[in-house]
Amino acid sequence: MNFHFLLSNLGSPLIHMISWLIGLFLLLHHLHVIGLVLHVHHGRVHSLNLGHMGLNGTISPHLGNLSFLVELDLSDNNFHGHLPKELVQLRRLKLLNLSFNELDGEVPTWIGSLYALQNLSFHNNNLSGIIPLSKSNLSRLEILDLNDNLIEAIISREIGRLKSLKILEIAGNKLNGIIPNAISNLSSLEGLSLAYNSLSVRELVSLKINKE
Ligand SMILES: *[C@@H]1O[C@H](CO)[C@@H](O)[C@H](O)[C@H]1NC(C)=O
Ligand SMILES: *[C@@H]1O[C@H](CO)[C@@H](O)[C@H](O)[C@H]1NC(C)=O
Ligand SMILES: *[C@@H]1O[C@H](CO)[C@@H](O)[C@H](O)[C@H]1NC(C)=O
Ligand SMILES: *[C@@H]1O[C@H](CO)[C@@H](O)[C@H](O)[C@H]1NC(C)=O
Ligand SMILES: *[C@@H]1O[C@H](CO)[C@@H](O)[C@H](O)[C@H]1NC(C)=O
Ligand SMILES: *[C@@H]1O[C@H](CO)[C@@H](O)[C@H](O)[C@H]1NC(C)=O
Ligand SMILES: *[C@@H]1O[C@H](CO)[C@@H](O)[C@H](O)[C@H]1NC(C)=O
């Protein structure tokens, strides 16, 4: 699925909107899908929900032009390939849900600059690398769900910067490093899931002690 044809003609907001809606109509017609949820707020498309639609292909870099999006849900499809860096332009995003796809490559560093994010899920993809928190500014992030990927490390003191984090899920990955003590500085944390990794018991015990 390529969003190219959806997004030509970005002119005035009205033209933008009309071309968008026509594009969506063509898309739906083409795919014979129903259930698309588009929320419009003050005359602008505010959330794009294309979850559970059996879409495949790569995620188009042109999605980055929809800078007004507050919610983007592409969960439970068959998107593969890398996350296009153009998504960094989605500065208003509060929800990014790419769970249950087949995305691969490293979790990109630019994720850390989507500072409006509240809920972020990459659950069940093939994303690898080190969770890139060193330049992050995700002070509003409440849910970070990275379960069931190929992530190797969160060895980063900066995780303590996720001041609003309530749920941190990194189970079913390849974590083999030391859990940073900084996790014990996450004062809002309600749920932490680290099962099915290669962490040692000592690291887990030390984490518990720190938390108490
Ligand atoms: C998205 O914006 C870039 C400039 O930022 C432009 O070059 C590109 O053509 C736009 N894409 C679409 C599909 O309008
Ligand atoms: C996408 O799905 C269609 C229909 O299921 C299939 O024919 C096509 O090969 C798929 N394309 C990719 C890139 O997976
Ligand atoms: C984030 O998730 C929480 C808990 O499920 C929910 O209450 C909240 O509305 C979500 N926020 C967004 C922006 O989707
Ligand atoms: C991850 O990659 C493996 C090996 O290529 C593949 O078998 C598996 O289906 C992929 N999982 C996801 C969620 O994409
Ligand atoms: C993401 O989508 C999945 C599947 O649609 C859903 O189960 C999950 O709760 C969503 N996660 C967030 C953080 O919104
Ligand atoms: C972090 O984000 C906040 C908005 O949430 C912004 O005011 C602040 O300047 C940002 N800090 C950095 C270092 O980017
Ligand atoms: C926890 O927070 C305190 C106070 O903000 C700070 O001094 C300390 O270095 C932090 N600990 C870690 C492990 O980040």
Domain boundaries, the chain: 1-91, 107-212
Highest mean pLDDT among 22-26, 136-140, 146-150, 181-185: 146-150
Rounded mean pLDDT, 137-144:
92
Q: Which atom of ligand 5 is nearest to the CA of 143?
A: 13
Task: State the fold for domain 107-212.
Answer: 3.80.10
Determine what percent of the chain is predicted with pLDDT higher than 70.
Answer: 66
Average pLDDT, the chain: 79
Given the structure tokens 């005035």, which residue do they identify?
A: 12
181 vs 158: CA distance, rounded Å: 10
Query: pLDDT band for position 190 (50/70/90)?
Result: very high
204 — pLDDT class (breaks 50, 70, 90): low
Q: Are 160 and 187 in contact (CB under 8 A)?
A: no
Q: How many angstroms separate the CA atoms of 208 and 212, rounded?
A: 6
* Residue 34 in this model has a pLDDT that exceeds 50: no
Distance 62 CA to ligand 1 centre (A): 6
60 near 38, Cβ under 8 Å? no
What's the count of helices (H) and strands (E) in the chain, helices before strands?
Answer: 2, 13
Q: Looking at ligand 4, which atom is closest to the CA of residue 102?
A: 14
